[in-house]
Amino acid sequence: MTSRSYLVVTDNFEFVEYFSQYFEQTESNIIFCVPENNKSQVLGSHNEGYNFYHCDFLNSKSIQESISAILNGGNHIDCLINFINNNELDYFNVDLDDWLQYWNYKVLGSMRFMREIAQEMMKNGQGSIINILDIQSRFPNLENVVNLSADTAILNLTKATAAEFIENNIQCNSISLGNFNFNLLNENSLKDMPINDSGNPKELMSLIDFLANENNRYIIGENINIDGGFSRTL
Amino acid sequence: MNLDFKNKVVVITGGSKGIGLATAKKFLNANAKVVICGRSANNLQEAVQILGSDNSNLKTVQCDISYTNQVDNLFNITLNTFGNVDVLINNAAPTSWGPLIDEIDEEEWLEAVNSKLLGYIRCTKRAIDYMLHQKSGRIINIVGMGGRGPNKRYLTGGPINSAILTLTKALANHYGSQGILVTAISPGPIDTGHHENILNWMAKEAKISYQEAMDNFLSGVPLKRYGKPEEVASAIVFLASQDASFITGSEILVDGGRFRSL
């Protein structure tokens, strides 16, 4: 495990806890950027003491201001983790304006952070971007397709930008999650799992640590499944 | 092959030009009743001249699928004219090529999502309403090669097209048991004029001529040529036919072998 500086963009509070618990052992600098309206939920947990910044994922200017505040606070960023997955929109009941707003929040939000942080990483001469997705985006159910189709879009974005970013020594990859207690698969998906247990968050954190490692610079635009064997197709 | 669509009603969005127009022609030749829609009244008028102005099996509707009320109007006219919807071809709104990640215009990007992804969904939801009554139907989504081949200069269309592939799978999984089959066609480089913009970017970026960019591009296509809209239309008509009755959730690449990955 290597000490480095992480910026974690997320609206998943349980993920915040697991990430903190694992990477504090490495004496890494961990900065969380969470949506403004989730402030009380995040700070209500045992995460007090970590660096939290709040911004509007829908607004480029708000993101730029948060990143400026982070950097002006003496931080630099080695690794950006994008894990935006808080969504309760159901295909059968969704208003299409809400669907569009969700893409603005999640897909364009991820793109906004990638764009802004990549500029800082270029100045530093290296960096790593990891987008965290749901494995069900490749085995989608219709109820959750609002979220899952956004994940596929981010997978495309990951691969599309990887070649450009690596010219500046910035790796861009993604991880597709199976059943973790902060990313539960639906019941039908669980029926097709080779193992009954949910994933151990430490295994995911270990994978993040591996992908963020500057010695692994030949893994570019890759998507790694950590799903207990759920996806067994070519 | 059984390609007779007598008494079948086919709705084709983006039907006034290119792949949509070629598809309309093939369905009309196979005795289908065809509704084509497009944003431009002039393009629709030109399409009518090509398809036959006296053809009682053809109906045109001016419609921008970015707007729910216009999609509602499209399907209301279809039902009033032909009484049913058997096949929906979602083929509209080509998305632009060019901007890198730090050049994306966010408003244009969101408008493209609204126009293509949500446009397909608007049409799909309306078509499925009717298809569920008859417990049969075909929906074919025309996706575009950026969905399968991510590119740094296709950051609008690429993610949207990938999302449409996910949507295709999800719809197929859900509605298969109710007789509605949903598939996708990913055309590669097709001679519709749309690819000129891509070649211009490639030439500019590599500092080579347009012709050299074209030669370079085609060197990566095993068939060494552009496809014709009619070749994509043939695959679409096949997927809509009774001969494709066990195909759902699948994507067919009509790309001259351009994508060679598993």
Residue A191 or B213, more confident: B213
Closest CA to B91 of B44, B129, B140: B140
Which numeric CATH code is attached to A5-226?
3.40.50.720
B115 contacts on A by Cβ (under 8 Å)? none
The residue behind tokens 């060494």 is B224
Residue A1: predicted pLDDT: 65
A160-196: per-residue pLDDT in tens? 999 999 999 999 999 999 999 999 888 888 887 888 7
A67, A120 Cβ separation under 8 angstroms: yes
Contact A148 B166 (CB under 8 A): yes
A101 at B interface, C-beta within 8 A = no
Please give the structure tokens belonging to residue A142: 């219709």
Q: Decide the pairing of beta strands A223-226 and A51-55.
A: unpaired
Residue A194: predicted pLDDT: 86
* Cα atoms found within 13 Å of the Cα of residue B249, Cβ hemisphere only: 16
Pick the residue of B148, B167, B248 with the most A CBs within 10 A to test the interface with A by mutation. B167
Cα–Cα dist B127/A229, whole Å:
36
Residue B194 or B222, more confident: B222
Cα–Cα dist B118/B216, whole Å:
35
**Looking at chain A, which residue has its C-alpha nearest residue B101?**
A115
Residue B112 or B195, more confident: B112
The residue behind tokens 């001259």 is B256
B8-51: per-residue pLDDT in tens? 999 999 999 999 999 999 999 999 999 999 999 999 999 999 99
Contact B166 A141 (CB under 8 A): no
Average pLDDT score over residue span B242-246 = 96
Contacts of A72 (CB under 8 A, 6+ apart): none
For chain A, residues with pLDDT lower than 70 are 1, 38-49
Cα–Cα dist A225/B138, whole Å:
32
Residues 73-132 of B with CB under 8 A from A: 100-102, 104, 106, 109-110, 113-114, 117-118, 121-122
ipTM passes above 0.95: no
Q: What domains are there in chain B, each with its CATH number? A: 9-192+228-254 (3.40.50.720)
**Looking at chain A, which residue has its C-alpha nearest residue B169?**
A140
By the 10 Å C-beta count (0-12 exposed, 13-18 middle, 19+ buried), A1 is classed as middle
A26 at B interface, C-beta within 8 A = no
H-type alpha helices, A50-95: 60-72
**Looking at chain A, which residue has its C-alpha nearest residue B103?**
A115
Min distance B51 CA to chain A CA atoms (Å): 34
| pLDDT band (50, 70, 90) for residue B192 | confident
B80-101: per-residue pLDDT in tens? 999 999 999 999 866 778 899 9
Min distance A195 CA to chain B CA atoms (Å): 23
Residue A86: predicted pLDDT: 78
Residues 161-180 of A with CB under 8 A from B: 161, 163-164
Domain ranges of chain A: 5-226
Q: Give chain A's radius of gyration (CA, Å).
A: 17
Contact B262 A234 (CB under 8 A): yes
